[in-house]
Structure 1
Amino acid sequence: MPTVSTTPNPWNRRAAADLTSRAAELSAVGSGLLRLVEEAESRVKAVYEAERRRIVDEQLSKMPLERLKNAVGRNVRLGVVGAAGLRTVGDALRVGRAGLERIHGVGSVTSNGIISAAREMAAALRDGATVRFDVDARPSEQTALLIALRTLDLARHSVEPLRAKIEKVVGAIDADIDTARIAANRIRRFFAGQERRRQGAAALNRLEALLEDQATVGLQEDIRAAHVRIAAGQRQGRPPTQSTASTARRQRTTAGDRGRHGRPLLGIHRRGPEATAAVWADYMARPVEYYGLLVEIAGLEADIYKPGAGGPSDPCAGRIAIGPVERPDPIAPTARPPEVTVLSAEDPMVSPRFPTVEHIPAEIVAKIRNLDLDTSLLRASLRGYQLFGAKFAVVQRRTILGDEMGLGKTIEALAVMCHLRASGARHFLVICPASVLINWEREIKRHSQLEPIWRLHGPRRTDLLRHWVRSGGIAITTFDTLKRLHHPQLEIGAGIIDEAHFVKNMDAQRTRTARRWLDRTECALLMTGTPMENRVEELRTLIRHVQPDVARKLGRYLQPEEFRSKVASVYLRRNQEDVLTELPDKIETTDWVEFNDPAAAVYRQAVAEGNFQLMRRAAFMTPNPADSPKLQRLTEIAEEAASNGRKVIVFSFFLDVVQRTQTALRRLAGRIAITGSVSPTIRQQLIDEFSSPEGPAVLVSQIEAGGSGLNIQAASVVILTEPQWKPSTEEQAIARAHRLGQVRPVEVHRLLVDDSVDALMLDVLAHKSSLFDSYARMSALKNAAPEAIDPRTAEQCIVEYERRRLGLAA
C-alpha cells in the first residue's frame, strides 16, 4: 500500500478539486470496465432469446393451421378461417382474437379455441427451440448473436485478470472520496468543523498517495489497454492476445479516451460485410468456445446432479434409438436386428444431463457434487457433462470414460490432470496410438498450462524418459513404444490410455505392458468411444484393468440392466444426441449401385476363388477404373460437394481402393493419401493442409490409419467405400468429422452393391450393433444376443452363400 504522510497538509481548493476529480474518474473508469462483462452477458441473453423467438416465429409461419385440428375441438371452424386467407398458425397469432372474429362466421368459440391452441403450440416450440448457427446462410440475427458472444469473450479475457486490483483501488477511492471533497468545496469547507477539515485533508493525502503509487499508475495503463484490446479484437475478429495488449498500452486512441470516462465500448462494432465476415470466420475457427459460452450464459445445460425430470418440455424426453437403415433383406429374416425400445430421459446412462438416477450410487454422486475441481491450469471451459466426467474420474480414481466419439474426452482427461497437478502430483503418462501422438501434444499445449511435455517416441525415447523422471510433466508415448521403455521407480499421478480398445485382448503383449504401468498409477483413466466391438467380454476386460473387483462380480450371463448397474461405479458413457444439442445434423445416405458386366466378372471370379477380400472391393477393381460403379458414384458425390464448397473425406479399408480413388480425384485430393505407411507427423500435416484453406478439397484415407483419434471437422461429407467388420470402425471414422467443433451438417454416404457381399455384411453388422447398444451404449434393448458372430466364421458363410446363389458351388 502507498505510504501516507501524517503531518498537516493544507490543500488549496483548486488542488483538492483536481485530485478528487482524477480519483473519481479512475473509480468510474474502473467500475465501468468491470460492468463490461455483466453488460456483455446481458446482451448475449437478450440476443439469444430474440433469435429463439425468430426461430419459433418462422416455424409457426410455416405450420399449417390444420395442425391445430386435434386440439381445438369439433365446434371450431378452421375451414372458415383458412378460406379467409389465414393459412398458418403464425397467421392466427398475428391477427389475434379480434382479427379472427372479424371473419364472417367466426365467433368467440372458434377464436378462443384457435388462439389457445396456437399459444400452446408456440410454448412447446419455444421449449424445444435450439439455435444452430447456419454458416452458409449467415442470417443477420445469428450474426448479432456471434458478435455479442465475441464481445463477451473479449471482455472476459481483458477484464478478469484485472478485476481484483480494480475492486481494491475503487474500494479505497470510494471510502475516501466524499470526505476528501470537503477540501474541494468552498461552502462545505467553510461550514466543516476543524476535525472534519482535518479528516478531509487526511483523505486527500491518502488519495494522492494512492494515485501516485506505481501500482495504481500501472493499473490505469492496464485499464486503458483493456478498452483498446476489446475494440481492436472486435474489429479484427479474434480473441485478445498478449501482443495486442502490449500494443494497446502504447496507444491513446479514441476508444481508450472513451474508456477513461467509464463509457462502455460494447456498442463499437464495424458494420457491414467486413464485420460479418470477421465474426463468422472467428466462429468457424473456434466453434467450441462460442458454444461453450452460449451454453453457460443462456443456461442451456440442466443441473448435472439432479435426477431426470423428463417430460414434454425436456428435449431429451422420448428419444428413440435408431437401428440400421432399412433395405431389402437378401437372406434369412432371422438376421434382422432386435426391436429397439424408446429411451427415457430419466435413464442416466442415456441422458447424461441426469446421471444420478438409479445406477450411479448415491454416495458417489455426493462425492462428485462436493468435489471442487481445480481448473486453474486449464485454458478451456468445461461443458456441464465434461465437468461431471472429470469429477467422476477424480472421485473414483480408476475409471473408464466411454463417451461417444466427438464429445471432448481429451479435455476431460486434461481437466483431471490439471486438478491432480494443482494438488501436488508431478508425473503424468498418456498412452495412445501413434496416429494421435502429435494431436495429444497440441491439445495439451492449447488447452492447459501443464508442462513440460515429453514425447517418449523415436530414437531419443530413453533419454527423454530420464528427463521426465527427473523433471516431471506429461509423458506421451505409444502402445508399441511403451513395450521398449523401462518402468522407473516413481509415483505416477495419473495414467491415461486413449483409444483403450487397443488393450482389450489380455493375451496381447501391449495389453500386458499397459496393465503393468497402470497398476503403478494413483489414478487411471481409460478412454474409448467403442469399449466393446465384438464381445461383451471386451468391456469386462477393460473394467478388469482399472477395477478388478468390479470385473469379478460380472457374471457371464448378466442381463443388460443388471450389467450396467454393476459397472456404474467405474464406467461412464454419454452420447452425442443427449449432450450436444448444437451439433449439426448427421445425414446418413445409403448409395446402392449395381454391378455392371466388368465389375460382375471380377466379383464372380472372387467368389469362385473364395477370395473374400476381393469380393469386398470387386466394384472398385475393374480392369479399367472408368468401369467401376462405386468409383463413378464416389466421383459424382465428391464433385457435387466441391461445387457447393464442401470438404470431403473418403475412407476405405483397402490400399488399392485408396490409390484408385486418389488418382480419380487428383484435381481435388491432397498430395498423398493417408495410409498405414504415412508417419504421424506427415499425417497431421496432410490434415492441416486439407483443413486450412477455404473452399472444396478431398482427403482420402485408409480407415485404419485415419479413422480414429484425429480431428477433421473441416470435412462435412464422409464417404465409406465398403462396409467394415466392426461397427465401431465406421462410427470412429464418421466421428472424425461429426464431433464437437463441427459447424455444418455432416453427410455420410455408404457405397454398397446390391446382391453382393455388402448386403450380407450389413446383417452381421446389425447384430453387433444391437449387442453394443445393450451393454456398452446403455440403451434399453429387447432380446439382446449374448455373443456376436466371429468375423472369420461369417466370411466362410458368406462365401458359401454367394457360391450357391451364383451357381458356383462345387
Structure 2
Amino acid sequence: MERHERQQLRSITDEVAGWVGQARTVLAHRDEIARAADDAIESLRRAVVALRRDEAVDWAVMPLRTGDGQLLGRVAERVHQPSLAPAEDRTLRHLTTQVAGALHDTKSVAGARRFFSGRAKRDAGQAAASFVLDFRTWGVSSGVPQLLDRLSLHDGRTFDVGVADALGDWVGFRKRIADLGDAPEVISSAAVTDLPASIGTIEKALRDEARYRAAAVSAGEAVRSREVQRMLVEMPVERLKDATRDRLRIGPLADAGITTVQAVLDYGARLEYLPGVGATTATRMRGAAQTLWQMTYDEMPVRIDIKQRTDETTELLRRLGAWDAMRKTKGATTDLTLAGALAPLARVLHRDVSHLIVFAVGAQVAELGKAVEAVRRRARSIDGTSGTAASADPWDDFLGRPADYFAMLSELGFLTEDEQKTHGDLPDDIIEAVRRLQLDTEYLSASLRGYQSFGARFALAQRNVIIGDEMGLGKTVEALAVLAHLRANGGHYSVVVCPAAVVTNWVREISSKSSLRPHRVHGPGREAAARNWVRSGGVAVTTFETLGWFENHARAVDGLACAVVDEAHYIKNPTALRTRRTRQLLDAAERSILLTGTPLENRIDEFRNLVSYLRPDLIVDADEFSPRRFRRQVAPAYLRRNQEDVLTELPELVEVEEWLPLSREDSAAYRNAVAAGNFMAMRQAAMLQGAKSEKVRRLVEIVEEAEDNGRRVVVFSHFREVLDHVVRALPRDVFGPLTGSVPAAARQTMVDQFSAAGDGAVLVSQIVAGGVGLNIQAASVVVICEPQLKPTTEWQAVARAHRMGQLESVQVHRLLSEEGADLRVTKILARKRELFENFARVSETADSAPEAFDVSEAELAREVIAAERERLFSQDAANLPEGEEAV
C-alpha cells in the first residue's frame, strides 16, 4: 500500500473510530438509563401490598412517597430517550462489534504494526481496510454521523415527575405495572389517612368486649339498686318480722321513728344504741333488712320508664348503646373482613406516603373507597362519634329501637324469662336437643332474647318447622338468626317469601340486624336482583306472586340452605297456585320455616295443611281428636309462645268494646242494607253518615283525647269507603288511607312519616293492608271501626302496635253498634276464638272442638242476614223489597 493510500486509510479509520466511540457512549448511556428505570420500577413494585377478602385479592396498592418522584423520573427518562428504529439499533451494535474489530485489524496494514505482520495478517488487514472503507462510504450515505449526533444531544437530560402524575402516559410507568391489576388510579393518601386509627379502634373494641359488657352490667345494677331502694323506702318495717318468722321485736324501731326497711339499712351500726335493742338484736335487724334487700334485688327486673328519666337509667342506656356498637362490630363480619383486608394498607401508610396507586384485581377501584368508608363508619360507631355523638341524649336512640335495648337487657339477665314458657309446648327430648345446639351469631348483629334464641335453635334442630309465636314477639329476627347461622356454616343461599306489603320491612331487617346481603326480588329491579343473588349469594326476598317467575333462578343455585315463608297462612289452601309453587320451593330447600302468628284462622284442617307441607308424618287422618292430642302430634314441628309468657316488660294492653247506639240516620241506612240482603253494606252502615254517625262522633272524641294525652292513633277498617269518610271527618294530621293498592315501599314510607309526626297524628289503614307485617309501634291507640270476620285479623292489627319494643300502654277501641250485624258477628267470633285457644294457642283446655265451630265467611254472612231480617221485618213484611219474603 502506497504512503498516500495509508494516509487516506488512517484518516478514514480515525473518522470511523470516532463513530465507534460515539456509538459505545450512546449505548452505554442507554443501557444505564434502562437499568436505572428497571431498578426504580422494581423498588416501587416491592412496596405493593395485596388486599385480600376471603383469601382472594381484591386490590393491589402501591404507596408513593414524596421522594419517589426521582424513581419515576428515571422511568420517564427511559421513555423519553430518542427512539431507535430496529435498523438504527443494528447499526449501533454493528459499529461496536464488527466495525470496531475491523478497525483493529487495519493496523496491520496502515500502522507501524505492518512492519512486524506476516503475510496472513497483512492480507486480513487489507480485507479489514476494504471493509472499513466500504462501511464509511455506506455510513456517510446512510446518515450515520447525523444519527450519532442526534443521540448524543440527549445525554444528561433529567425529568422531574410529581408522584400524582405517576400514571401519566408521558411517564411510561403505567405500561410497566400493567400486570398488577386493571384500571389503576392514583389517589391522595389523605383519602385514607385515618385508616390506621380506624382499624386500631376496631381491633381495640374487639379486645375490650368484656369491658364494654361489664360497664353495661354495672349500669344496670345501679338502676336495679335504685329501684330496690325506692321499694325499700316504701316497705314497712313490719316486713322484718316476716323475714325472721316473727322472731324479731320491732317495737324499739317504731319508738325511734324508724318505719321502713330502708331506714333500718341507713341506720346501720347505730341500731344497737337504740333503747331496747342491743348488739345482738341490732345484728339480726340488719341481717333481716339485708335479706329483704337481696330478695327484692334478685327478683327486680330493670325497668326503663320514659316518663322517669333518671340519671342512672340514662347512664344505662349510654352504656348499652356503647356495648351494642361493639357487639355489632364483632357481629358485622363484612366490616371486620374489610378491616382485616385493609390492615396491610394501614401498616404502610407512613407520614411520607402522599399518594397511592390502586389496582383493581377482584373488585373495582371505587369499591376500595367504599370499604375504607365502611371501616371508618364502623370505628366511629364504636367511639360514639357517628350519628349520635357521645354527648347526645341516649334516649333518642332508645326510643328509635327499644326492642334492641330490651333484648340486650334480657341477655344481661336484667329481664327474667320463664324458661318453661320459653319452650312452648315441646316435649323434653326436643327441648334437650335444642339446648345442645350452639347458635353461631357471626353474621347476626342483633341481640336475641332468650326465647328468640331458643326459637332459632328449635328451627335448626328440627329443620322444617312452623314458628307460631304470637304477633309482636320477633319471629323475623328468629328466622334471621337461623339464616345467619346457616351462612356461618356454608349455606350461602336463602329465600324469604312474603306478602308484597312487607318486602321492604324484610330488606330493612336483614340489612340492620345481620351482615347478610338482601336482594329485593320484587318489582322493576327483580331481574338484576335475582342475577346478583345467584352470582353472590345472600337472602332473596320475593313475594307469593313473584315466586312463579323466580323459580328458574332458585333452581340455578347450588344448594338452597333455607326457605322462609312469612305470613304462612297465605298458603293454607293446598290447591291454590301460590301454595303449590311455595311447596316446590320448600321441597327444594334443605331447611324451611313457616312464620305465622295466626296458624289457625277458620278450620283445623288449614293448620294441619301447614304442618303437612313440612312434616306429613306428624298428622294422622282422623275426623275428631282432642286439642291436647293435636298439639302433641305437631310438637316436633310447631313452636308457639304468647306475649304474656315471655315479654314481662310489655306495657299494658287495654281493650275497650265501645257499644254505641245507632243514630236515626245509621238505622235508616242499616235497614236499607238488610232489606237488600247486602251484608257488606250492613257492616259499613254505621260509619257512612259523617257527623250524624255515632261511631264517627266517638272516633273524633278518641282522637282528640289521644292528642291531649300525647298519643298517636291508628284507625283500621276493612272498607275503603269507611276510611275515606274517616279521613274527611278528622281535621288534624291524617296519614293514609293505607290500602292494598298502595305499593309496598310506599306503605313503609307512610308508616315512617306517621311515626315521625306529632301527638294526635292518625294513620288510617285497611286492616288487611296495615294489619300484616308492618310495625306501627308509634301508635298507642288502636281503633277498629267494625268487627272483623276472622278473630286473627283483629289480633294481627292490634299486634302491629302492641309488640316488643312498645313503650306506652296500648288502648284498643272497638267501635260496635249495640244492635245489628256488629252484635251478631261478635257472638259468632267468640266461638271461633275458643277454637283457636284449643288447637293453636298453648292452653290447658282439653275439650274437644265440635265441627260446628268450623264457620266460613259466607255462612257467617247468611246467618247474620237471616237473623237481622227476622228481627227487623218479621212483623212488617210490607217493608221488604218486592219479591222478598220475611224469614
Structure 2 length-normalised TM: 0.64
Shift in CA distance, 67/628, structure 1 to aligned 2, threshold 3 Å: farther
Shift in CA distance, 214/281, structure 1 to aligned 2, threshold 3 Å: closer
State the distance in 1 between where 2:218 and 2:590 align.
46
After TM superposition, give the deviation of residue 541 of structure 1 in Å. 0.4
Match of residue 650 from structure 1: 715
User: Contact 1:452–1:472 at 8 Å: present in 2 too?
Assistant: no
Correspondence 1:142 to 2:313: yes
After TM superposition, give the deviation of residue 395 of structure 1 in Å. 2.2
| 2:715 alignment partner AA | V
How do 1:607-686 and structure 2 match up within 5 A?
607-622=674-689, 625-670=690-735, 672-686=736-750
Correspondence 1:375 to 2:441: yes
How do 1:753-772 and structure 2 match up within 5 A?
753-772=817-836
Residue from 641, 647, 650 that aligns with 1:580: 647
After TM superposition, give the deviation of residue 543 of structure 1 in Å. 0.4
With 774-783 and 119-128 compared, the bigger mean Cα shift is at: 119-128
Match of residue 750 from structure 1: 814
User: Contact 1:594–1:629 at 8 Å: present in 2 too?
Assistant: yes
Match of residue 519 from structure 1: 587
| 1:629 alignment partner AA | E
How do 1:465-480 and structure 2 match up within 5 A?
465=530, 468-469=533-534, 471-480=536-545
**Larger Rg, first or second structure (1 or 2):** 2
Match of residue 443 from structure 1: 509
State the distance in 1 between where 2:652 and 2:865 align.
37
With 428-437 and 383-392 compared, the bigger mean Cα shift is at: 383-392
After TM superposition, give the deviation of residue 484 of structure 1 in Å. 4.4
After TM superposition, give the deviation of residue 493 of structure 1 in Å. 2.2
Match of residue 133 from structure 1: 304
User: Contact 2:411–2:447 at 8 Å: present in 1 too?
Assistant: no
Match of residue 224 from structure 2: 52
With 472-481 and 110-119 compared, the bigger mean Cα shift is at: 110-119
State the distance in 1 between where 2:527 and 2:779 align.
38
After TM superposition, give the deviation of residue 396 of structure 1 in Å. 1.8
User: Contact 1:608–1:808 at 8 Å: present in 2 too?
Assistant: no
Shift in CA distance, 771/92, structure 1 to aligned 2, threshold 3 Å: farther
SS in 2 for 1:713: coil
Match of residue 384 from structure 1: 450
State the distance in 1 between where 2:742 and 2:308 align.
38
Residue from 588, 601, 606 that aligns with 1:538: 606
State the distance in 2 between where 1:540 and 1:247 align.
49
Shift in CA distance, 493/592, structure 1 to aligned 2, threshold 3 Å: same
| 1:286 alignment partner AA | R
User: Contact 2:670–2:686 at 8 Å: present in 1 too?
Assistant: yes
Residue from 399, 407, 416 that aligns with 2:482: 416
Q: What CA RMSD, in Å, does the superposition of the two structures yield over aligned residues? A: 4.5
User: Contact 1:540–1:554 at 8 Å: present in 2 too?
Assistant: no
SS in 2 for 1:534: coil
Shift in CA distance, 393/700, structure 1 to aligned 2, threshold 3 Å: same
With 713-722 and 71-80 compared, the bigger mean Cα shift is at: 71-80
| 2:651 alignment partner AA | P
User: Contact 2:444–2:513 at 8 Å: present in 1 too?
Assistant: yes
Residue by residue, what CA displacement relative to the aligned partner does 1:633-660 show, whole Å, maximum 9, x if unpaired?
1112112222333222111111111111
User: Contact 1:76–1:109 at 8 Å: present in 2 too?
Assistant: no
With 775-784 and 124-133 compared, the bigger mean Cα shift is at: 124-133
State the distance in 2 between where 1:219 and 1:707 align.
57
SS in 2 for 1:550: coil
SS in 1 for 2:393: helix
| 2:569 alignment partner AA | H
Determine which structure has greater relative contact order: mean sequence separation of CA pairs < 8 Å that are 6+ residues apart, divided by chain length.
1
Residue from 759, 782, 790 that aligns with 1:726: 790
| 2:403 alignment partner AA | V
With 510-519 and 120-129 compared, the bigger mean Cα shift is at: 120-129
Shift in CA distance, 112/621, structure 1 to aligned 2, threshold 3 Å: farther
State the distance in 1 between where 2:552 and 2:383 align.
57
Q: Aligned residue pairs: how many?
A: 647
Shift in CA distance, 72/372, structure 1 to aligned 2, threshold 3 Å: closer
Match of residue 847 from structure 2: 783
How do 1:271-310 and structure 2 match up within 5 A?
278-298=393-413, 300=415
Correspondence 1:700 to 2:764: yes
How do 1:45-124 and structure 2 match up within 5 A?
45-62=217-234
Shift in CA distance, 400/627, structure 1 to aligned 2, threshold 3 Å: same
User: Contact 1:75–1:110 at 8 Å: present in 2 too?
Assistant: no
Shift in CA distance, 515/96, structure 1 to aligned 2, threshold 3 Å: same
Residue by residue, what CA displacement relative to the aligned partner does 1:718-751 show, whole Å, maximum 9, x if unpaired?
1111211111111111111222332322222222
| 2:683 alignment partner AA | R
After TM superposition, give the deviation of residue 33 of structure 1 in Å. 6.9
| 2:656 alignment partner AA | T
State the distance in 2 between where 1:734 and 1:554 align.
35
SS in 1 for 2:563: strand
| 2:307 alignment partner AA | D
After TM superposition, give the deviation of residue 504 of structure 1 in Å. 0.5
SS in 2 for 1:673: strand
Structure 1 length-normalised TM: 0.69
Residue by residue, what CA displacement relative to the aligned partner does 1:573-610 show, whole Å, maximum 9, x if unpaired?
12222222233332222333222322233333333443
Correspondence 1:152 to 2:323: yes
After TM superposition, give the deviation of residue 398 of structure 1 in Å. 1.3
Shift in CA distance, 778/648, structure 1 to aligned 2, threshold 3 Å: same
Residue from 828, 838, 860 that aligns with 1:794: 860
| 2:321 alignment partner AA | R
Shift in CA distance, 519/110, structure 1 to aligned 2, threshold 3 Å: same
| 1:614 alignment partner AA | A
After TM superposition, give the deviation of residue 478 of structure 1 in Å. 1.4
User: Contact 1:554–1:563 at 8 Å: present in 2 too?
Assistant: no
SS in 2 for 1:616: helix
User: Contact 1:454–1:473 at 8 Å: present in 2 too?
Assistant: no
SS in 2 for 1:493: strand
| 1:612 alignment partner AA | F
State the distance in 2 between where 1:594 and 1:113 align.
65
State the distance in 1 between where 2:710 and 2:458 align.
42
With 86-95 and 364-373 compared, the bigger mean Cα shift is at: 86-95
State the distance in 2 between where 1:63 and 1:388 align.
37
Shift in CA distance, 426/146, structure 1 to aligned 2, threshold 3 Å: closer
Unaligned 5+ segments in structure 1 are 1-27, 166-212, 221-240, 252-263, 302-314, 317-344
Shift in CA distance, 568/80, structure 1 to aligned 2, threshold 3 Å: same
Match of residue 557 from structure 1: 624
Residue by residue, what CA displacement relative to the aligned partner does 1:16-61 show, whole Å, maximum 9, x if unpaired?
xxxxxxxxxxxx9999977854343333223322322333343454
Shift in CA distance, 593/109, structure 1 to aligned 2, threshold 3 Å: farther
Residue by residue, what CA displacement relative to the aligned partner does 1:330-369 show, whole Å, maximum 9, x if unpaired?
xxxxxxxxxxxxxxx74xxxx01x45xx83352x444433
State the distance in 2 between where 1:637 and 1:76 align.
54
User: Contact 1:135–1:743 at 8 Å: present in 2 too?
Assistant: yes
State the identity %: 43
User: Contact 2:411–2:448 at 8 Å: present in 1 too?
Assistant: no
Residue by residue, what CA displacement relative to the aligned partner does 1:555-585 show, whole Å, maximum 9, x if unpaired?
3322222222221111111222222223333
State the distance in 2 between where 1:115 and 1:684 align.
57
SS in 2 for 1:507: coil
